[in-house]
Chain A
Amino acid sequence: MVALSDKEVTKAQHVEEVILSHLQTHEEIVNSGEFAKANGLEHDLLLSVVQSLHGFNYVEAQDIKKEAWVLTEEGNSYATLGSPEVQVYKAIPLEGISREDLQKKLDVSVFKIGFAKAMGNKWLETKPLVSRKVSNVEDQVQQQLVHIRNGQDLAAADIDALKKRKLIIPLIWKGYSIRKGTSYAPKRTKAATDLTREVLQRGTWKDLVFKDYNYNALGQPTEGGHLHPLLKVRAQFREIFLEMGFEEMPTNNFIESSFWNFDALFQPQQHPARDSHDTFFLQVPEKAQFLPEDYLQRVKEIHEHGGYGSIGYGYNWKREDAEKNVLRTHTTAVSSRMLYKLAQDGFTPKRYFSIDRVFRNEAVDRTHLAEFHQIEGVVCDRGLTLGDLIGVLNEFFSRLGIRKLRFKPAYNPYTEPSMEIFSYHDTLKKWVEVGNSGMFRPEMLLPMGLPEDVSVIAWGLSLERPTMILYGIDNIRDLFGHKVDLKLIKSNPICRLGMR
């Protein structure tokens, strides 16, 4: 609402007094419009005062609606100066006048409209000069317009004619009929809306009447910033891992060589995931500059001829393919670096995790983007079993509130056994895939130099999928990227994953 100036406040108080004192002696104000006119008050101001009085139950107001006509700007001018046809008529001297001279005496539009109308009314002659054909004319249009200005009624045919000439337009007139309300008093005690500093200092709060608070309305929106929902979920996943004793891996290297991204993971060079249809290769920097040579030889050997009990893939392994840089397709590229480092530094049991960006050169749709976040957990220890993997997964997912899990055999080039993780979705009433897991193959671990009795169990899932389920988002582009509506970022609940 617009604040009233002091002058307006005084005027409003006057209107209020007039209404309340009138109702002291009268049962009803039948029509606020007529009442305003009779008392010389502005009707608009009166309306707002009545609304306020109604709100405090001093009066009870009922709507009156009436369709009325008002003059357009053109109509208003004719009401004052006369209709153009009459203006034209009057501008013609008795002796007649040339058309050009007549035109000069009048406003352009007045001449144009008025001349045509006057001709139509057969008031004029044009030959030889423009002259009056009738001796006297009556300006009915002007009279009608004045009637309307005064709020008087007209015959329907006249209304139509004026409407056609766009001299009047309809206006919905709103007013009230007013009676005493349940809290009527001849003078209003002003209700306070707030406990202010002034009220406190003056001590007037003891006597003031406070306006009822509208408990149905929303409060004022808070100010301040917001964190992105996907990263709020990331924060909870991080906490779950940290609580479970996992150490974060340094995943701040989006560019990876095919060697670490694929070859080190015993992923053969002809594997479809290494196609340009699935992986982003780089033009700059195109190749890795250096690779760990000893280790590279062991990787080449295991791919080509096997070893450590494996027969290998039996193909010609190419160094050029391993050197090709890619945008990493999974954070497991970092896990392979970490495990290699662990083998070089001397093995100790470790639990690693990471949550970071990965890239796939795939078609983008409602559920797939070319980039997303992979959550990965890795446990390396001597003598780990598949039972340990199942146990760790149950522990991890139960912290997310997912307690019903089952596992499906699957294939992955660098894990054996491999398991897809399914959880029972209570709403969908079916088992849905929530992640992938497995035990890293000896062909991956042994060339790194890890001791033979060390097993590594790992699992991965995307950050986007659980977030979309959590926040009820069905298009990934509404969550992630520059087309996201800022409202979405600002209005979502805190993530309670991991609270038990």
Chain B
Amino acid sequence: MPTVNVGRDRLYEALQQHYSEEEFDELCFDFGIELDDVTTEKAIIRKEKHLQEDTLEDEEIIYKIEVPANRYDLLCLEGLARALRIFTGKQGSPTFSLSSSAIQKMYVQPETALIRPYVVCAILRGITFNQARYNSFIDLQDRLHQNLCRKRTLVAIGTHDLGTLEGPFTYEALPPSEIKFVPLKQRMEFTAEELMDFYKSDLKLKKYLHIIESSPVFPVLYDSKRTVLSLPPIINGAHSAITLQTKDVLIECTATDLTKAKIVLNTLVTMFSEYCEKKFEVEPVEVISSDGNATIYPDLHVRSLEVDLAYINGYIGVSLQSKQVIDLLNRMQLPSEATIGSNGKSKIKALIPPTRSDVLHPCDVVEDVAIAYGYNNILKTLPRSLTQGKQQPLNHFSDLLRSEIAMAGFTEVLTWILGSEAENFWLLNRKHKEHTGVIVGNPRGSDFERVRASLLPGLLKTMGHNKDSPRPVKLFEVSDVVLLDNTKDVGAANERHLAALYCNTTSGFEVIHGLVDRIMEVVGISNAAVGDTKGYYIAPSNEPEFFKGRQANIILNGSCIGSFGIIHPQVLANFDILDPCSVVELNIEPFL
């Protein structure tokens, strides 16, 4: 979940109320956000730099607040405070409007389709910034870039001082060598080609270079005088940088995903039009695509969603009247009215403002009713249908077998399914080509390279880490391994295995052999003569992880289901085990 840092005092000022920390925590809980941490600006910096100093008393208190990942309208103080003011009944939902007509135009060139096809724009006229508002404006863009914009891959935001530019604007895609401008925070002119090199050492920007780096053309926005607005998704031009004195802000969002670009634009204008001369009014921009179609942005239309009252009540398990539901939805920024459907049923018509892109379906309206009603005020009930408890036979059987093996004196271990390539192969004296297992594509480290095809490495690693355990050590595990399997949709299948290990000053080969006999006894399979197709017998084997002449395959009804033997001294050394060990591993699914 994204976290938003807001100054406590500014927040309380915006909420028009002072809360104790506990009271605010409660308010957050009810609304579905979380006061994650209380800190100070300097403490955050100290933490980043791993410094340990005492807190100074006059530092501004910062609240770190976790907000739901689909509520982009809560990613800044303006939106958070607005939502809580509305939730606590201190104000109604704002109405956003577009000033009558689009003055500015943005022309999209066809080449942009090669790299970043969409652009949407809007203008905030007569905005009044101060340092706090300016910081919040920048922070919101950062948070949107990180979350919804998926690190600028889907959408990139550029904001400009419109007073320094002259429309109409163009959105183009050009070879990097042909783009030349002074980027933000620089004094010198760079070509886009040079910039890509220059930013390779920039900690903040280098992670965005890959988005366009390999493209023959880079996206770029110009005004009518060929001033570069920005080179999305990397950097804005220095020329049009906004300052505290900026009055008119042009916002452009370039994107590979139009839906998200519209949400990003709406979020910015609905939050910061609060500071415009005409509060909550936005000046639209006409975007003319390469085929000549013109679209007005931002799209601030209010969507109406009709929901049956019975649906709402039935979903939550309450019996609310229309008026109560409307009051509750008003507190959630979903202004609503009561209507009667064609079938004569009571309906609630909820008006979804452009800030609430999270509302996809009537069930989202239901949730807001439930939140405003209070989850903890809902009457507890129990589902009435009778159902039968039932276990998976494989799990049930595994549990019975586990108890039997524990009763035979073995101690259960629980090891990881992921492991290194080494421990699955050469540490076991095995060669790669014998491999039939699953390979992880993006392991974080060598411990996560392979999905185990055998329980053996886990047991041996456990033994290696428990050298001081009193002898004999007797371990077992009943768990799944994964093998490639072409009959399954995903191409792999689990197999339930049993493995046991004996370690002592002597090998204990006969102890493990005895365990094999005992397992067969408890599953009711009798010993058979070599070659029989009914019952079980053991036959000499030749596995590299075992000692020659002290190993055997376990044959059940004519098929090999596993093997046991003395672990090869080289394997013991590989796993840092000092005493001889004997091990059995077998597939238990044939017993079912």
Interface residues of A (CB under 8 A from B): 223-228, 230-231, 235, 238, 241-250, 252-257, 270, 272, 276, 280-291, 306, 308-315, 325, 327, 349-351, 357, 359, 361, 363, 369-371, 379, 381, 383-388, 390-392, 394-395, 406-411, 413, 416-419, 439, 441-443, 455, 457, 480-487, 489-490
Report Cα–Cα, A252/B466, bound state, in Å: 29
- Residue of B32, B383, B390, B411 with most chain A CB atoms under a 10 A cut-off: B383
Report Cα–Cα, A228/B403, bound state, in Å: 11
Known: A411-B71, A482-B458. A248 touches B442 (CB 8 A): no
* A389: min CB distance to chain B, Å: 9
A-B contact pairs, 21 of them (CB 8 A): A225-B476, A227-B402, A252-B494, A255-B492, A270-B260, A309-B361, A309-B362, A371-B418, A381-B383, A386-B316, A386-B378, A387-B379, A408-B375, A409-B30, A416-B367, A417-B371, A439-B363, A482-B416, A486-B462, A486-B473, A490-B411
- For B415, give its contact among A254, A392, A409, A481 (CB under 8 Å): A481
A283 near B389: Cβ-Cβ < 8 Å: no
Known: A225-B408, A244-B389, A245-B389. A417 touches B383 (CB 8 A): no
- Taking CB atoms, residues of chain A closer than 8 Å to B20 are none
Report Cα–Cα, A391/B316, bound state, in Å: 12
- For B315, give its contact among A363, A370, A386 (CB under 8 Å): A386
Given contacts A369-B416, A384-B383, 15 further A-B contacts (CB under 8 A): A226-B406, A247-B388, A254-B494, A288-B490, A289-B486, A349-B386, A350-B387, A370-B447, A385-B381, A386-B317, A388-B382, A390-B381, A406-B375, A482-B415, A486-B411
* B182: min CB distance to chain A, Å: 33
Closest to A383 in B: B314
A290 near B489: Cβ-Cβ < 8 Å: yes
Known: A387-B317, A388-B383, A489-B412. A280 touches B388 (CB 8 A): no
* B116: min CB distance to chain A, Å: 14
Closest to A393 in B: B380
B442 near A276: Cβ-Cβ < 8 Å: yes
Report Cα–Cα, A325/B465, bound state, in Å: 33
- Taking CB atoms, residues of chain B closer than 8 Å to A238 are 391, 395
- Taking CB atoms, residues of chain A closer than 8 Å to B447 are 370
- Taking CB atoms, residues of chain B closer than 8 Å to A443 are 360-361
Interface residues of B (CB under 8 A from A): 1, 29-32, 34, 68-71, 147, 150, 154, 257-260, 303, 314-318, 358, 360-364, 366-367, 370-371, 375-376, 378-392, 394-395, 399, 402-403, 405-418, 438-444, 447-448, 451, 458, 461-462, 464-466, 469, 473-476, 480, 482, 484, 486, 488-494, 496
- Taking CB atoms, residues of chain A closer than 8 Å to B491 are 255, 285, 287-289, 325
- Residue of B358, B360, B381 with most chain A CB atoms under a 10 A cut-off: B360
- Taking CB atoms, residues of chain B closer than 8 Å to A225 are 405-412, 474, 476
- For B484, give its contact among A284, A309, A390, A441 (CB under 8 Å): A284
B259 near A313: Cβ-Cβ < 8 Å: yes
* B538: min CB distance to chain A, Å: 23
Report Cα–Cα, A246/B303, bound state, in Å: 41
- Taking CB atoms, residues of chain A closer than 8 Å to B465 are 482-484
Known: A248-B391, A254-B480, A409-B371. A390 touches B380 (CB 8 A): yes
* A262: min CB distance to chain B, Å: 14
A485 near B466: Cβ-Cβ < 8 Å: yes
A288 near B407: Cβ-Cβ < 8 Å: no
- Taking CB atoms, residues of chain B closer than 8 Å to A407 are 375-376
A406 near B364: Cβ-Cβ < 8 Å: no
Known: A385-B317, A407-B375. A226 touches B411 (CB 8 A): yes
Report Cα–Cα, A466/B418, bound state, in Å: 23
- Taking CB atoms, residues of chain A closer than 8 Å to B492 are 255, 285, 325
Report Cα–Cα, A428/B135, bound state, in Å: 38
B363 near A442: Cβ-Cβ < 8 Å: yes
* A468: min CB distance to chain B, Å: 14
- For A408, give its contact among B29, B441, B461 (CB under 8 Å): B29
- For A255, give its contact among B381, B451, B476 (CB under 8 Å): B451
Report Cα–Cα, A151/B328, bound state, in Å: 100
- For A361, give its contact among B317, B318, B444, B474 (CB under 8 Å): B444
Known: A280-B440, A386-B315, A439-B315. A482 touches B462 (CB 8 A): yes
Report Cα–Cα, A489/B268, bound state, in Å: 55
B442 near A387: Cβ-Cβ < 8 Å: no
- Residue of A249, A349, A395 with most chain B CB atoms under a 10 A cut-off: A349
A283 near B439: Cβ-Cβ < 8 Å: yes
* A216: min CB distance to chain B, Å: 23
Report Cα–Cα, A254/B417, bound state, in Å: 9
- For A285, give its contact among B315, B473, B484, B496 (CB under 8 Å): B484
Closest to B369 in A: A417
Report Cα–Cα, A369/B417, bound state, in Å: 12
* A237: min CB distance to chain B, Å: 12
- Taking CB atoms, residues of chain A closer than 8 Å to B376 are 406-407
Closest to B154 in A: A270
A281 near B441: Cβ-Cβ < 8 Å: yes
Report Cα–Cα, A308/B361, bound state, in Å: 8
* B35: min CB distance to chain A, Å: 12
A281 near B442: Cβ-Cβ < 8 Å: yes
Known: A231-B414, A387-B317, A417-B370. A349 touches B380 (CB 8 A): no
Report Cα–Cα, A481/B413, bound state, in Å: 8
- Residue of A276, A282, A381, A455 with most chain B CB atoms under a 10 A cut-off: A282
A252 near B480: Cβ-Cβ < 8 Å: yes
- For B380, give its contact among A306, A363, A391 (CB under 8 Å): A391
Report Cα–Cα, A361/B441, bound state, in Å: 11
- Taking CB atoms, residues of chain A closer than 8 Å to B358 are 411
Report Cα–Cα, A291/B260, bound state, in Å: 28
- For A327, give its contact among B315, B367, B411, B451 (CB under 8 Å): B451
B389 near A385: Cβ-Cβ < 8 Å: no
Report Cα–Cα, A288/B247, bound state, in Å: 55
Closest to B153 in A: A270
Closest to A273 in B: B69
A441 near B482: Cβ-Cβ < 8 Å: no
A248 near B392: Cβ-Cβ < 8 Å: yes
